[in-house]
Amino acid sequence: MNFEFPVYAYDAISFVASVALIIAYHLYLRSKVKRDRTYTVQAVNMIARTAWVETIMREKKDILAVQTLRNSTMAATFLASTSVLMIIGILTLSEGSKMETTWHALNVVNTQSSELWLVKLICLLMDMFVAFFSFSMSIRVFNHVGYMINVPIELKHKMITPAHVVTHLNRAGKFYSIGMRAYYFIVPLVFWLFGPHFMFVSTIALLLVLYRIDRAPTIMTLDYSDVD
């Protein structure tokens, strides 16, 4: 009795394995942060934003607050606009009838299918829509923070306190981080267009890079004993 391997099996296995690796990596980061609050850059940024808001509101550094929030809003706007351009580019890939044949030229498992090609493009579109939504929400929350952070503490408003503003600002940072993650995850999804084995290898390479950039840098002490 001959057993015929399903034509989509290699892609399904590669996709599931890649998603499992990504989930395992983020669970690992979460467990590390629970033990050490300064293990990741994201955790350190949350601490820094908390101290920054308290300093701005108590010392009334309104101009510094506006400039910093403007820079964050501009960065999120640029990335949201870029995700729209990438969505348009992905949609153009679905128009060519022979595109899947060209992209699968290096596919060693030889799983060429118009339906599978559309599934891959849909995954790419979903990833970019997540990025666009996340950056758009980040811009929205940054704008709200811009009004709240300039409210004087002397008013003693029960809702607009430094702790409340910090919650909103960290939420904006969380949306920004999710958008950046969506940008990173487009790497294995693009390589998936070439073949399932490319997706799995690129996922491992991406996680190795993320492991380096997610960890907070080690604090170095400067030695001035030899300085004249």
Compare 30 and 221 and report the one with higher pLDDT: 30
- Flag whether 202 is in a domain: yes
56-115 residue pLDDT tens: 888 888 888 889 999 999 999 999 999 999 999 888 877 655 555 555 555 556 556 677
186-216 residue pLDDT tens: 999 999 888 888 899 999 999 999 999 998 8
pTM to 2 decimals? 0.84
Query: What residue numbers bound the domain in which 68 lies?
Result: 17-214
42-53 residue pLDDT tens: 899 999 999 998
Number of domains in the chain: 1
- Flag whether 115 is in a domain: yes
- Flag whether 54 is in a domain: yes
Cβ atoms of 93 and 141 within 8 Å: the answer is no
The pLDDT of residue 226 is 47
Tokens of 70: 């403007």
The pLDDT of residue 103 is 57
CA distance 64 to 206: 36
Which phi and psi angles does 111 have, rounded to 5°? -105, 85
- Flag whether 72 is in a domain: yes
Cβ atoms of 206 and 182 within 8 Å: the answer is no
- Flag whether 96 is in a domain: yes
